Amino acid sequence: MKPSILVARAVFPEVLSQLAQHFEVTSNQDDVLWTPAQLIQQLQGKQGAFTTGSERISQAVLAACPDLKICANMAVGFNNFELDAMTAAGVLATNTPDVLTETTADFGFALMMATARRMAESEHFLRAGLWNRWRYDMFAGSEVHGSTLGILGMGRIGQAIAKRGAHGFGMKVIYHNRSRLDAPTEAACGAAYVSKSELLQQADHLILVLPYSPEAHHTIGAAELAQMKPTATLVNIARGGIVDDAALAAALNHGIIAAAGLDVFEGEPKVHPDLLTVPNVVLTPHIASATMSTRLAMAQLAANNLIGYLVHGKPLTPLNPQAVKA
């Protein structure tokens, strides 16, 4: 008998067909957003789950779903997983690193440029029919080429952004990370390590690419924003909760920093109402990895983790391999 799995959100039909070769598949192609109680109900009798960031795998869910052996996230982030609880319950967690690195770096850089050059603000002005003449300072933004790019979090995506800035735009690249990169990697990225305080004070454009954890909650709040240049921009393509969105809205309103670009939000898909009223922010709905080829690669990797573990006993990208009993 084939193992049973749940595909918790709509996904590519070809990925469902791939999974159906190995499993009894219950799918959610209607893309219903389940409550925790509904998720528990859907997981009954399932050995595996294909999840996205919207399905929280909590201790309560794990306790109610004793057959569950693996949750394969179609994302590189995994703050929807209570990883310690999953490990204690013997439930493997996997994610989809690498396949979205370059696409996400492209988007992060694009969002930074749109923020620096006031693209969204000027488009709204044009669409409102307010453009009737040229003026020397109309929507004059900040330079990108030759400016200082700061990166907080220097994993795969951070390094890819650094290379774009240093080699493509002649930017001075500085970064801060929990651990410093080795010298050859720094050289390849054209990046110099600085303290967090120096990063905040020196960056013309600061991009956040660090993973979310309870320790990273509100890494950027009012105190950190106050250390930045009033001409600086802030871009968050990491995770909601890393930035205090209320403090950011206040900083934008009061000219503490010049502008921000956000692809992720606290409590998304809800957005802090104050962010919707400030003009100097570019807002996108968590789409940094959204190209068809990249999203397909993410889905296929999540599927291959399910197949690799439940069929062959070898997951491809485990987050907590210690959950597997020897």
Query: Which of 22, 56, 218, 286 does the annotation list as catalytic?
Result: 286
Tell me the average pLDDT across 212-223: 95
**Per-residue DSSP letter, 28:** -
Residue 143's pLDDT is what?
Answer: 97
pLDDT value at 262 more than 70: yes
Cα 57 to Cα 67: distance, rounded to the nearest angstrom: 14
Confidence at residue 1, expressed as pLDDT on a 0 to 100 scale: 87
> How far apart, in whole angstroms, are the C-alpha atoms of residue 287 and residue 262?
10
Domains of the chain: 4-99+292-323 (3.40.50.720), 101-283 (3.40.50.720)
Angle at 25 (CA atoms; ends 97, 79), nearest 5 degrees? 35
The length of the chain, given as a count of residues: 326
Task: Give per-residue pLDDT as tens, 41-55.
Answer: 999 999 999 999 999
Q: How confident is the model at residue 326 (pLDDT cuts 50, 70, 90)?
A: very low
Residue of 118, 239, 272, 295 with catalytic role? 239
> Has 239 been annotated as catalytic?
yes
Looking only at Cα atoms, what is the longest distance across the chain?
72
Can 123 be counted among the known catalytic residues?
A: no
The active-site residue out of 24, 102, 198, 268 is 268
268 is catalytic: yes
pTM of the model: 0.93
For 118-177, the pLDDT digits (tens) are 999 999 999 999 999 999 999 999 999 999 999 999 999 999 999 999 999 999 999 999
Q: What is the pLDDT of residue 220?
A: 98
d(CA 205, CA 247): 18
Q: Token pair of 263, please?
A: 């692809």
Sign of CA dihedral 161, 263, 195, 157: negative
